[in-house]
């Protein structure tokens, strides 16, 4: 080993290159632990030198590149040695633009390249960056169509936001044109603003949109009618950031009057329930969505009954919220609460006005009284509620329930 390390660096690198080619990336990666020199040189050889085609088989099996994709992109963008370097070339387009805008000093260029590569990988995700690893196998025209020839204004805005450069954000915002397909490779301004977090950027976007003509707002409506706005909302909910949620919803209202898609609304509400955040649930309860449906999904309410506080249950069933007697076809809020055997949550659902006996509106869900057989306390709550209903059906139900309890 000592003799090997005494060799000139160029010779050592040639030996390591042959080693990687001979035993493969996966096995070579394990040899990094031999010594510090091997670690750095094998890293560099695999990430910067070896053909991308060599990585294809090993990306998911062994997964040695999971935390290193940005570094691979860093090296490849400096070398541009691959047959079809569209992703690295896109990084260089960003750097060229930033150097023109920021007058970057030479000693800071590598730091800037590192930041851009990390933004690119973070925005794209490892699944997307797998395309970078297998780029040689894609038709160049398809890649060019996917990434675009020139750097999009939305990408510039996203980079400026991720770097926290407010002046550049204000400069690039009026230059953003095009719809959903444009500028998704570096992330999105809303998402990056929340990650910073820098809500001042959301305010800048809000002020800009407010001054636009109705026809000019269509650019934002088209861009954010799909998953990009949903991505920002989900991130804000995951951070329990009520201020950001309010800002995003108010911002959306400035470029469109369309109701929120029900699919996205249910995602937000379920996330808020799982975060056990009363204030966010209360805020989302006010959001109008389309097509019309229950305020809460069965899965979300079931989770609330099992794991959340009573305050969440009350919010979900509050004014403008879920009808306490709503029937999802297989269950109701009361049945879900009963099955969790939490007396206070059952009491909360009953007090909200839940239908206590029989299937509701002809649905085939189970009778709540059937679910209470193992809980005398819950049975007592339902019977007490039924005593206030004077119909013959209710009196018969009370009699049957008491006979079952006594037996």
What SS3 state is found at 163? coil
The residue assigned the tokens 């934002």 is: 220
Q: Are 373 and 406 in contact (CB under 8 A)?
A: no
The C-alpha atoms of residue 398 and residue 390 are separated, in whole angstroms, by 11
Compute the residue count for the chain: 407
Residue 245's H or E segment, with its range, is helix 242-255
The C-alpha atoms of residue 178 and residue 10 are separated, in whole angstroms, by 49
The C-alpha atoms of residue 326 and residue 296 are separated, in whole angstroms, by 10
Structure-block tokens of residue 118: 């990390």
Asked whether the bond before 340 is cis by omega within 30 degrees of 0, the reply is: no
Q: How do beta strands 260-261 and 289-290 pair?
A: parallel
pLDDT at 83: 47
What SS3 state is found at 121? helix
Helices (H), 6-108: 9-30, 36-44, 69-79, 86-102
Asked whether the bond before 197 is cis by omega within 30 degrees of 0, the reply is: yes
* Whole-Å CA distances, 163 to 75, 76, 153, 202, 302: 21, 22, 15, 15, 41
The C-alpha atoms of residue 312 and residue 307 are separated, in whole angstroms, by 10
The residue assigned the tokens 């260089």 is: 92
pLDDT at 260: 94
Q: Are 326 and 335 in contact (CB under 8 A)?
A: no
pLDDT at 344: 92
Q: Are 4 and 15 in contact (CB under 8 A)?
A: yes
Of 277, 345, 338, 260, the closest CA to residue 310 belongs to 345
Model pTM?
0.81
Of 66, 5, 70, 6, the closest CA to residue 40 belongs to 5
Residue 289's H or E segment, with its range, is strand 289-290
Structure-block tokens of residue 68: 């290193």
pLDDT at 8: 81
The C-alpha atoms of residue 389 and residue 281 are separated, in whole angstroms, by 33
pLDDT at 271: 96
Q: Are 185 and 123 in contact (CB under 8 A)?
A: yes
The pLDDT profile of the chain, 407 residues, written as one tens digit per residue, is 556 667 787 788 888 888 888 877 777 777 777 777 777 888 888 888 777 666 655 544 445 566 777 888 888 888 765 545 667 888 888 999 999 998 877 778 889 999 998 888 888 776 666 666 555 445 556 656 666 667 888 989 999 999 999 999 999 999 887 655 556 678 889 999 999 889 999 999 999 999 999 888 998 998 898 888 999 999 999 999 999 999 999 999 999 999 999 999 999 999 999 999 999 999 999 999 998 889 999 999 999 999 999 999 999 998 888 998 888 888 889 889 988 888 899 999 988 888 776 544 444 455 666 665 657 788 777 777 776 655 555 555 555 555 555 55
pLDDT at 137: 46
Please, what are the domains in the chain? 323-407 (1.25.40.20)
Structure-block tokens of residue 338: 């009963």
pLDDT at 123: 82
């Amino acid at each position: 080993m000592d003799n090997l390390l005494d060799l000139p660096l160029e010779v050592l690198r040639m030996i390591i290159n042959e080693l990687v080619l001979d035993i493969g990336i996966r096995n070579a990666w394990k040899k990094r632990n031999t010594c510090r020199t091997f670690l750095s040189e094998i890293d560099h050889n695999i990430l910067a030198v070896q053909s991308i085609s060599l990585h294809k088989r090993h990306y998911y099996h062994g997964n040695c590149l999971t935390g290193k994709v940005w570094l691979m992109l860093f090296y490849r963008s400096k070398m541009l040695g691959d047959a079809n370097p569209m992703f690295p070339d896109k990084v260089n387009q960003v750097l060229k633009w930033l150097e023109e805008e920021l007058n970057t000093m030479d000693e800071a260029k590598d730091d800037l390249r590192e930041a851009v590569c990390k933004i690119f990988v973070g925005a794209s995700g490892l699944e997307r960056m797998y395309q970078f690893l297998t780029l040689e196998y894609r038709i160049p025209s398809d890649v060019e169509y996917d990434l675009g020839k020139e750097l999009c204004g939305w990408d510039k805005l996203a980079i400026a936001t991720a770097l926290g450069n407010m002046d550049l954000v204000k400069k690039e915002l009026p230059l953003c044109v095009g719809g959903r397909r444009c500028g998704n490779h570096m992330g999105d301004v809303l998402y990056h603003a929340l990650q910073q977090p820098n809500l001042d950027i959301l305010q800048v976007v809000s002020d800009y949109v407010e001054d636009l003509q109705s026809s000019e707002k269509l650019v934002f409506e088209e861009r954010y009618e799909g998953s990009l706005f949903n991505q920002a909302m989900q991130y804000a909910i995951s951070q329990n950031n009520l201020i950001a949620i309010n800002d995003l919803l108010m911002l959306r209202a400035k470029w469109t009057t369309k109701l929120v898609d029900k699919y996205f609304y249910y995602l937000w509400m379920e996330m808020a329930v799982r975060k056990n955040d009363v204030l966010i649930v209360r805020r989302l309860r006010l959001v109008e969505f389309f097509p019309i449906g229950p305020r809460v999904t069965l899965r979300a309410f079931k989770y609330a009954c099992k794991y959340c506080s009573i305050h969440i249950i009350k919010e979900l069933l509050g004014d403008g919220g879920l009808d306490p007697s709503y029937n999802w076809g297989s269950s109701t809020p009361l049945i879900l609460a009963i099955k969790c055997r939490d007396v206070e949550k059952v009491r909360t659902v009953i007090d909200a006005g839940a239908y206590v006996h029989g299937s509701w509106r002809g649905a085939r869900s189970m009778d709540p009284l059937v679910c209470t057989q193992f809980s005398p306390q819950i049975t007592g709550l339902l019977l007490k509620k039924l005593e206030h209903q004077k119909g013959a059906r209710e009196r018969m139900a009370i009699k049957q329930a008491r006979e079952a309890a006594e037996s």
